[in-house]
């Protein structure tokens, strides 16, 4: 089947592209470290030509759709946020276009959301994964990471979402505090296999998030130091415990906003396993999503935008 | 009045010493950056001789009492933690001694505490400040900082305490995350004067800590990015807001454990003002303690240890 779309997930630190057929099948793919953060000023057209050029040779009219930080203020061109609730048609209606040689590149907007109390939230790039998972029937989506996203989807429409700074807070505490000194001990290193300390941490994090037993998160974090110091946790388990604490706190926080059945989890496999273990430790559950969500979401957007004949 | 005691508060990053008379009056004082972290292996006797030597000249029998990280595993000699509840006599009974030339240096232990759910906590150095404030009649003490300490004192006895990693979490997020990028913007810099964004942040932090309106701390932290990004907070206010968020969360957390009247706050004057503003924003109150708590606490310990004739 001939190519019908070049779909690009162009984020801060990576460039992932999918040469896609009219039925959504992926014919070829590229993944490089040419993230938006690595682009020199004005460098997007040349990078695009270098990366996607081989696919466009002899197919100048092939539509191109890109999502992610490429559409941010520091990207190729800013595509303003579309407020939630937002369905694929509403997002597709707000693509912005740039030209690179003979190609027209459509850039997808991010999403914004403001809750009843006026708290704003934004995402850029994750929305195509969420749309892809919605195609797979998801009603509640969790995308773990530096900035974990939880999103509610109803009949294909993203109705609400919320960001949790779990991964960034973990790394900052582990690498840049005295409290994190045991967790960054080279003999323990980054959390590897999920051990029992992870589940203990997750339960403590959920308890802290709920204020049970007088606990709270800023106090509970001191446990990463005092538990090993007082012989209540092996030093080598401190990173696993701290990871559990923050993920457990995220889940308890998020469940106040996103109740209901098991969410669909998508992301790096080791992180998805870690989150599944935390859900289980809290007596909750989540399912690992099938791979390929971003490509499916971009394909869906391209259909709604009329880019595929 | 002749000197009766050399009282030393020897912490990680500073050396503070007080030449004290028999009635507690301070006759002379030293403050240097010769903290425990700067000591070479085996360097304590020489540093002590250099710093306190002039006071000891011709007074070889003058008792010396030191508290703080000097008594930690990485200090001059480890003085094991005394479990709470602990009164001055119990602490004084656990001094350890080292010899430096003709001088005998008594090193005070830190305190440990384990709550009903088995969560351990420790302090080292702050206990003398707490004892000093107890002498001033305090029932509830707050020592803000990298590791804020809240302590309950009953009839001069430290009955319970808890650590909150507020200052370290603030610095790690401001300096080492994307979420903190606006807060570390050189045009905004470190929190300076306390502005209205601080009170807003404090209220959001308390709300998050209590789980009100579906909020939680890991989600609320994203506001340091989204509020400026969405035009709801000037970028230059992001540091002040983030500082308020974490201090407000600490106070709400701590108040679950330490209810009752206005606590006595002791520490760096700018930090004490910041905490007083956060208490006020939350409809609560705290009082700035009179200075000199550490010297008073060390004097009290020296009396209980029989070091002063």
pLDDT digits (tens, 9 = 90+) for A148-172: 999 999 999 999 999 999 999 999 9
Q: Is the pLDDT of residue A279 over 90?
A: yes
Q: Give chain A positions within 8 Å (CB) of B223.
A: 119-120
Does the beta-carbon distance from A226 to B173 stay under 8 Å? no
Q: Give chain B positions within 8 Å (CB) of A164.
A: 216, 218-219, 222
Per-residue pLDDT tens digits for A38-80: 999 999 999 999 999 999 999 989 999 999 999 999 999 999 9
Measured CA to CA, the distance from residue A120 to residue B228 in angstroms comes to 10
* C-alpha atoms less than 13 angstroms from C-alpha of A96 in its C-beta half-sphere: 17
Does the beta-carbon distance from A213 to B164 stay under 8 Å? no
Q: State the pLDDT at residue B191.
A: 57
CB-based contacts of B126-130 (< 8 A; 24+ apart in sequence)? B126/B151, B127/B67, B127/B86, B127/B91, B127/B158, B127/B297, B128/B9, B128/B67, B128/B68, B128/B293, B128/B294, B128/B297, B128/B298, B128/B301, B129/B266, B129/B293, B129/B294, B129/B297, B130/B158, B130/B161, B130/B293, B130/B297
Beta carbons of A151 and A161 less than 8 angstroms apart:
yes
Q: Give chain B positions within 8 Å (CB) of A147.
A: 178-179, 222
User: Sign of the CA dihedral B27, B32, B38, B40?
Assistant: negative
Q: State the pLDDT at residue A192.
A: 65
Q: Give chain A positions within 8 Å (CB) of B252.
A: 216
Measured CA to CA, the distance from residue B168 to residue B220 in angstroms comes to 17
Average pLDDT in the A85-114 region?
Answer: 96
Beta carbons of B16 and B297 less than 8 angstroms apart:
no
Q: State the pLDDT at residue A257.
A: 96
Higher pLDDT residue, A190 or B203?
B203
Q: State the pLDDT at residue B192.
A: 65
Q: Give chain A positions within 8 Å (CB) of B226.
A: 119-122, 163
Q: State the pLDDT at residue A188.
A: 52
Average pLDDT in the A132-150 region?
Answer: 94
According to DSSP, the residues that pair with A28 across neighbouring strands are A19
Among the partner-chain residues A175, A213, A218, the one whose CB lies closest to the CB of B164 is A218
Q: Is the pLDDT of residue B224 over 70?
A: yes
Q: Give chain B positions within 8 Å (CB) of A146.
A: 178
C-alpha to C-alpha distances, A224 to A93, A198, A240, B164, B202, nearest whole angstrom: 48, 12, 10, 12, 25
Q: How do beta strands A111-114 and A82-83 pair? A: parallel
Q: State the pLDDT at residue B190.
A: 57
Question: Best of A37, A204, A210, A219 to disrupt the B interface by mutation (most B CBs within 10 Å)?
Answer: A219
Q: Is the pLDDT of residue B211 over 90?
A: yes
Closest to A152 measured CA to CA, from A165, A138, A140 = A140
Q: Is the pLDDT of residue B281 over 90?
A: yes
For the entire predicted model, the pTM comes to: 0.95
Measured CA to CA, the distance from residue A106 to residue B248 in angstroms comes to 44
Closest-CA distance of chain A to residue B56, Å: 35
Q: Tell me how far the alpha carbon of residue A55 is from its chain's centroid.
A: 27
Rounded to a whole number of angstroms, the CA Rg of chain B reads 21
Average pLDDT in the A106-121 region?
Answer: 96
Q: Which residues make Cβ contacts (< 8 Å) with residue A194, sequence separation at least 6?
A: A240, A273, A274, A277
Q: Is the pLDDT of residue B198 over 70?
A: yes
Does the beta-carbon distance from B164 to A222 stay under 8 Å? yes
Closest-CA distance of chain A to residue B169, Å: 7
In percent, the amount of chain B with pLDDT more than 70 equals 98
Among the partner-chain residues A120, A176, A222, the one whose CB lies closest to the CB of B230 is A120
Q: State the pLDDT at residue B186.
A: 65
Among the partner-chain residues B169, B216, B229, the one whose CB lies closest to the CB of A221 is B169
Beta carbons of A21 and A27 less than 8 angstroms apart:
yes
Measured CA to CA, the distance from residue A17 to residue A294 in angstroms comes to 10
Closest-CA distance of chain A to residue B149, Å: 10
C-alpha to C-alpha distances, B154 to B77, B103, B121, B133, nearest whole angstrom: 30, 35, 19, 12
Q: Residue A224 is encoded by which pair of tokens?
A: 């990463």
Does the beta-carbon distance from A162 to B219 stay under 8 Å? yes
Q: What are phi and psi of B303, to 5 degrees?
A: -60, -50
Per-residue pLDDT tens digits for B234-250: 999 999 999 999 999 99
Q: Helices (H) and strands (E) in chain B — how many of each?
A: 10, 14
Does the beta-carbon distance from A249 to B218 stay under 8 Å? yes
Q: Residue B26 is encoded by which pair of tokens?
A: 């301070």
Q: State the pLDDT at residue B193.
A: 77
Q: State the pLDDT at residue B1.
A: 86
Q: Is the pLDDT of residue B49 over 70?
A: yes
Does the beta-carbon distance from B253 to A217 stay under 8 Å? yes
Closest-CA distance of chain B to residue A189, Å: 19
Per-residue pLDDT tens digits for A214-232: 999 999 999 999 999 999 9
Mean pLDDT of chain B: 95
Helix (H) or strand (E) segment spanning residue A130:
helix A126-135
Average pLDDT in the A250-267 region?
Answer: 96
Q: What is the ipTM of this complex?
A: 0.94
Q: Give chain B positions within 8 Å (CB) of A121.
A: 222, 226
In percent, the amount of chain A with pLDDT more than 70 equals 98
Q: Can you tell me which residue has the tokens 């595509």?
A: A79
Residue A243, classified by CB atoms within 10 Å of its CB into exposed (0-12), middle (13-18) or buried (19+), is: buried
Q: State the pLDDT at residue B34.
A: 97
Measured CA to CA, the distance from residue A91 to residue A81 in angstroms comes to 9
Does the beta-carbon distance from B209 to A223 stay under 8 Å? no
Among the partner-chain residues A116, A117, A166, the one whose CB lies closest to the CB of B218 is A166
Closest-CA distance of chain B to residue A163, Å: 6
Nearest-Cα residue of chain A relative to residue B258:
A214
Average pLDDT in the B140-163 region?
Answer: 97
Q: Can you tell me which residue has the tokens 């496999």?
A: A269
Closest to A91 measured CA to CA, from A79, A76, A108 = A108
Q: Is the pLDDT of residue A299 over 60?
A: yes
Per-residue pLDDT tens digits for B123-136: 999 999 999 999 88
The CA-based diameter of chain A, rounded to the nearest angstrom, is: 68
Q: Give chain B positions within 8 Å (CB) of A232.
A: 118, 120
C-alpha to C-alpha distances, A30 to A19, A21, A24, A48, A159, nearest whole angstrom: 9, 15, 16, 12, 32
Q: Give chain B positions within 8 Å (CB) of A173.
A: 168-169, 172
Q: Give chain B positions within 8 Å (CB) of A214.
A: 115, 256-257
Residue A21, classified by CB atoms within 10 Å of its CB into exposed (0-12), middle (13-18) or buried (19+), is: middle
Q: State the pLDDT at residue B187.
A: 60
Mean pLDDT of chain A: 95
Question: Best of A13, A119, A218 to disrupt the B interface by mutation (most B CBs within 10 Å)?
Answer: A218
According to DSSP, the residues that pair with A19 across neighbouring strands are A6, A28
């Amino acid at each position: 089947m001939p190519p019908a779309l070049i779909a690009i997930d162009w984020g801060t630190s990576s460039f992932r592209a999918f040469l896609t057929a009219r039925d959504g099948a992926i014919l070829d793919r590229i993944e490089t470290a040419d993230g938006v953060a690595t682009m020199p000023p004005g460098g997007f057209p040349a990078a695009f030509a270098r990366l996607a050029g081989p696919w466009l040779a002899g197919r100048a009219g092939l539509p191109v759709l890109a999502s992610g930080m490429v559409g941010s203020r520091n990207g190729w061109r800013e595509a303003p946020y579309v407020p939630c609730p937002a369905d694929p048609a509403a997002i597709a209606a707000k693509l912005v276009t740039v030209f690179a040689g003979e190609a027209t590149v459509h850039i997808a907007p991010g999403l914004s959301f403001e809750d009843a109390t006026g708290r704003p939230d934004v995402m850029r790039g994750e929305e195509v994964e969420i749309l892809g998972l919605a195609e797979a029937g998801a009603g509640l989506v969790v995308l773990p990471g530096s900035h974990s996203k939880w999103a509610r989807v109803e009949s294909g429409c993203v109705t609400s979402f919320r960001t949790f700074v779990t991964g960034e807070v973990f790394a900052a505490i582990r690498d840049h505090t005295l409290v994190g000194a045991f967790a960054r001990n080279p003999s323990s290193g980054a959390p590897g296999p999920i051990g029992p300390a992870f589940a203990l941490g997750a339960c403590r994090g959920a308890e802290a998030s709920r204020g049970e037993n007088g606990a709270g998160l800023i106090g509970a974090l001191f446990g990463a130091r005092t538990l090993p110091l007082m012989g209540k946790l092996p030093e080598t388990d401190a990173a696993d415990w701290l990871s559990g604490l923050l993920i457990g706190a995220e889940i308890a926080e998020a469940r106040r906003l996103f109740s209901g059945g098991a969410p669909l989890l998508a992301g790096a496999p080791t992180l998805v396993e870690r989150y599944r273990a935390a859900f289980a430790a809290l007596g909750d559950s989540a399912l690992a999503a099938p791979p390929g969500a971003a490509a499916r979401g971009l394909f869906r957007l391209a259909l709604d935008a009329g880019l595929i004949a």
